[in-house]
Amino acid sequence: MNTEHVRGVITYPMTHLSVHPRCPKFVKSALVVLGATLLSGLAPVIAFANSESSAPLADGVYLYGQSPAAAQPGSIYMVFEVTGRQTVGGFYMPSSSFDCFSGDISSTRLDLTVIDSYEQTSHPYSLAVQTQPVLAAGQAGAEFSINGFTRIEALSEIDEHILETCQTVQADTI
């Protein structure tokens, strides 16, 4: 076999690497059917990708905390409602004050405007997020996580009160 050395890399003549163009028709047909089957199996994933680009987190109310358990002293929590790509909510620590926020959600971050509860001044704040596609039982979905926070399923009365107050504050500023 004829080889050439080019900067330490061995190259082989192209004649030895070509694929024979003759292929039985049934093999070509099988490849077409296989390709179509694989593409149709990707439809839920493609649909998920399209839905993810419009809203990375489903509309609803969410609670996230630095601690995976609710109401842990010294931990920061955030309760918020998502509508489309918009969110309204509040940051708080148990037995302390809270600061309201509003902003936009993307698949990579939360861009928020936080209103200081004492000074009534607003400050920009961003949190990194991750959206991982998940395919379970043939249904496409996403696992949404906020860096440094863990999702908590159940809201307490305090969470509901903070969210309601922040929604009122946001409605008053519009």
Give 132-150 pLDDT, tens digit per residue. Answer: 776 666 666 668 899 999 9
Specify whether 106 is located in the same domain as 160: yes
Are 104 and 86 spatial neighbours (Cβ–Cβ below 8 Å)? yes
Q: Indicate if 62 and 19 belong to the same structural domain.
A: no
The verdict on 24 and 96 lying in the same domain is no
Residue 82 shares a structural domain with residue 131: yes
Q: Based on the domain organization, do 83 and 122 belong to the same domain?
A: yes
Q: How many CB atoms lie within 10 A of CB 133?
A: 13
Per-residue model confidence (pLDDT) at position 137: 63
Same domain, 34 and 75: no
Domain enclosing residue 39, as ranges: 11-51
- Please check whether residues 71 and 45 belong to one and the same domain: no
Q: What is the mean pLDDT of residues 85-90?
A: 97
> Does a structural domain hold residue 3?
no
Distance (Å, whole) CA 5 – CA 158: 73
What's the domain count of the chain?
Answer: 2
State the Cα–Cα distance between residues 42 and 39, nearest whole angstrom.
5
Most confident of 4-13, 52-61, 71-80: 71-80
